[in-house]
Structure 1
Amino acid sequence: MMYEFLNIAFIVFHTALILFNLFGWIWKRTRRWNLLTLTATAFSWFILGIWYGFGYCPSTHWHWLVQRELGYSDMPDSYIKFLIRELTGLDFSAALVDTGTAVCFFMALAVSIAVNVRK
């Protein structure tokens, strides 16, 4: 029962964080927080990634531990790939999903930096 709750909590939290990373720069009140979460994401991907693998995300790691306890296997390396598969049933290549994720991330980061500096 606890793992089922954690599974849902991770889906909600992680998906909300991704959406905030992509769109949190839109509202003036959240722009600094958006830049902070984007910076934390970059730190995780590129700095922690030195030890854990490029693109490392603690939330994905912990969520996969919960999924394993629930009996799931064959989890992709990417949370975005998992989310696309769960929401649409489509199974895109990891390279395509990773490229799309990186492009969206860097676009959001560039816009976030621009609107925060412009202020």
Structure 2
Amino acid sequence: MMYQFLDIFFFVFHTCLILFNLFGWIWKATRKWNLLTLSATAFSWIILGIWYGFGYCPCTHWHWLVRRELGYSDMPNSYIKFLLDELVRLNFDAFTVDLWTGILFFSAFVVSLYVNLVRGRSRN
């Protein structure tokens, strides 16, 4: 029962974090938090990725441990691929998903840097 709860928790939390990473820069009140979560994500993907593999995410790692306990064994490397496959019920190409994940993440990061540092500084 605890693993089922954790499976749902990670599904909701991780999905919300991804959406916040993509769109949190829109609202002035959440811009600094958005830059922080994007920076933490980049740190995880790149710096922790040195040891665990590029694109490493602790949320994905912990979620996969939970799903393994629930009997799932063939999980993709990418949480985004998992999410799309689950929601749309199609088998998306992993390379394409990773490419678009990188493009959208980088775009959100650049916009967040702009609204936090460049635009934010010019309004003070």
Aligned to 2:43: 43
Q: Match of 1:5? A: 5
RMSD: 0.4
Give the match's secondary structure for 2:54: coil
1:80 is matched with which residue? 80
| Structure 2 spans left out of the alignment, 5+ residues | none
Question: 1:94-109 to 2 correspondence within 5 Å?
Answer: 94-109=94-109
- Alignment deviations for residues 35-62 of structure 1 (CA, whole Å, 9 cap, x no partner): 0000000000000000000000000000
Looking at CA atoms only, which structure, 1 or 2, has the larger radius of gyration?
2
Q: Name the TM-score, length of structure 1 as normaliser.
A: 0.99
Residue deviations 1:13-33, cap 9 Å, x none?
Answer: 000000000000000000000
Among the aligned pairs, what percent are the same residue? 73
Q: How many residues align?
A: 119
- Structure 2 length normalisation: TM-score? 0.95
Could you tell me which residue of structure 2 aligns to residue 114 of structure 1? 114
Moved over 3 A (4+): none
- Distance in 1 (CA, whole Å) between partners of 2:73 and 2:65 is 10
Gaps of 5+ in 1: none
